[in-house]
Amino acid sequence: MNILHLSAECYPIAKVGGLADVVGALPKYQQRAGHAARCIMPFYQNRYTETHAFDPVFTGEIALGEESYPFSLLRPQDENLEIEVLLVQIPGLLSTDHVYSSDDAKRFLAFSLAALTWIIQQATPPDVVHCHDHHTGLVPFLMSHSLPFARLKNTPSVLTIHNAQYRGEFSWDRRHWLPEFPPERAGLLDWDGQINPLAAAIKCAWAVTTVSPGYLEEMKQQARGLEHLIRHEQAKCRGILNGVDFEVWDPETDPYLPTNYRSATVHAGKKANKEWLCEQFQIDGTLPLFVFIGRLVYEKGADVLAEALAETLPAQNFSVLLLGSGEPHLEARLTALKDRFPGHCGAYIGYNEELAHRLYAGGDFLLMPSRVEPCGLNQMYALRYGTLPIVRSVGGLKDTVVSIAEAGGFGIRHAECSVSDIATAIAQARSLWSDPRRMKKLVRRTMARDNSWEHSTKQYLQLYSSYIP
Ligand code: GLC
């Protein structure tokens, strides 16, 4: 099969969150399973594009109403990329130094149009066009219903929803940005009186997947208004759990770790990594170490976590390290915690891939109190590094973390994203920690979990095959 992924992010070229990790890994595993998988994404002005050379592949022009934009398709000269990634460069529109901004509707529509313009020039179109999140959400509609891309009418499109909180809506006043389509199809673009790329993709894609089965079930019940649509389209919806790229995330070979380790050497290995961390952050390494890694936003429960830590840290019987960036008021709260509890709390405000790896390796417990978690990759990285996950029972967290209250369990699950639930879970973890034999057993259990991409890759391939004659 010839598969083309369209995404706003792809690791290692541009990453804001888990979307990049998934799009950086899935095509690679599809390729290894014997298929031709490629990815097309925007060209941003970032460290990757500034430090790599590119070969031109194609040039074209797109129109957004009266405005026209020349674009180029570039291929990075990068031997480390296992799959072909093509970058759409649109000067003055897409080539910004950030992935997301306030004019995303226009930027990502331009990206989608450029990608489609290139696709229809190909002698044979891909067998499947796989779109990720709302950024490329108009693509299934454009393929099925717009006149300039009518050649792609019979090409299956798949939408994967990584996060339905964001939909990319924009006003019908901007309808002129879209290429010509039969007016009676306008309803397919509409949700609540606006052009809604995520809703349009749920309606128009041949198949829709969510990044965990649990999240799909939740979306049918509650998806800020989209639940009716999901229920209506449920026959073509499927939950496919994300995997972990076991090559990137392997404590035995991870180049970022001060000390590498594997299951047989996990205790000494984690101890050395913990010592390194505690020294860097000047925190007490004799206590259990909790870590939090994530975007500092409401969805991730960062506000409640800060409150729970402010309540529990005065007892001074654990240490915590926090890594993330996001809403300024949450960043300020974490910084305040660090200042208030020196020796017990450390924080790094920003994005730091290297430090994230080190936190998984050196932490004893990972905190993930998310309000919403479509899949969650951090808990799976934690498992791989022998760090016990403490998660709220939601979405993909529920699907991947078995509670210690159950047979074969290895994690702590709490029902609510609330101060009292988080505080109780921390207390539970503390008492586990004071039982080293039990801890050792649980750590080994986590490392034995197999959340590799192979399973999920098979499910995606089966899904595509069901649409390809
Ligand atoms: C989004 C979701 C997260 C998921 C990731 C990759 O970031 O919030 O839960 O793991 O996408 O699919």
CA of 378 to the centre of ligand 1 (A): 9
| Contact 373 CB / ligand 1 (< 6 Å) | yes
| Contact 239 CB / ligand 1 (< 6 Å) | no
CA of 237 to the centre of ligand 1 (A): 17
State which ligand 1 atom lies nearest to the alpha carbon of 211: 12
Phi, psi of 288 (to 5 degrees): -65, 140
Sign of CA dihedral 422, 423, 425, 429: positive
Structure confidence at residue 97 (pLDDT): 86
Other CB atoms closer than 10 Å to residue 142's CB: what's the count? 26
| Contact 164 CB / ligand 1 (< 6 Å) | no
| Contact 376 CB / ligand 1 (< 6 Å) | yes
| Contact 379 CB / ligand 1 (< 6 Å) | no
| Contact 26 CB / ligand 1 (< 6 Å) | no
Structure confidence at residue 33 (pLDDT): 97
Structure confidence at residue 96 (pLDDT): 83
Query: In whole angstroms, what is the distance from residue 41 CA to residue 197 CA?
Result: 17
| Contact 17 CB / ligand 1 (< 6 Å) | yes
State which ligand 1 atom lies nearest to the alpha carbon of 21: 6
Are the C-beta atoms of 390 and 429 separated by less than 8 Å?
yes
Structure confidence at residue 397 (pLDDT): 98
Structure confidence at residue 306 (pLDDT): 97
Query: In whole angstroms, what is the distance from residue 363 CA to residue 62 CA?
Result: 49
For residue 53, what are the CA distances in angstroms to 5, 10, 89, 129?
A: 22, 17, 14, 27
CA of 372 to the centre of ligand 1 (A): 10
| Contact 269 CB / ligand 1 (< 6 Å) | no
Angle, CA 286 vertex, CA 282 and CA 290 arms, to 5°: 75
State which ligand 1 atom lies nearest to the alpha carbon of 374: 9
| Contact 163 CB / ligand 1 (< 6 Å) | yes
Nearest CA to ligand 1 atom 5: 18
CA of 430 to the centre of ligand 1 (A): 28
Query: In whole angstroms, what is the distance from residue 288 CA to residue 173 CA?
Result: 55
Residue stretches of the chain with pLDDT short of 50 = none
CA of 320 to the centre of ligand 1 (A): 24
Query: In whole angstroms, what is the distance from residue 391 CA to residue 10 CA?
Result: 26
Structure confidence at residue 95 (pLDDT): 85
If 0-12 CB within 10 Å is exposed, 13-18 middle and 19+ buried, where does residue 467 land? Answer: middle
DSSP type of residue 14: B
Structure confidence at residue 2 (pLDDT): 97
State which ligand 1 atom lies nearest to the alpha carbon of 242: 12
Q: Which of 23, 242, 380 to mutate to test the pocket of ligand 1 (most atoms within 8 A of CB)?
A: 242
CA of 70 to the centre of ligand 1 (A): 32
Which residues sit opposite 25 in a β-bridge?
Answer: none
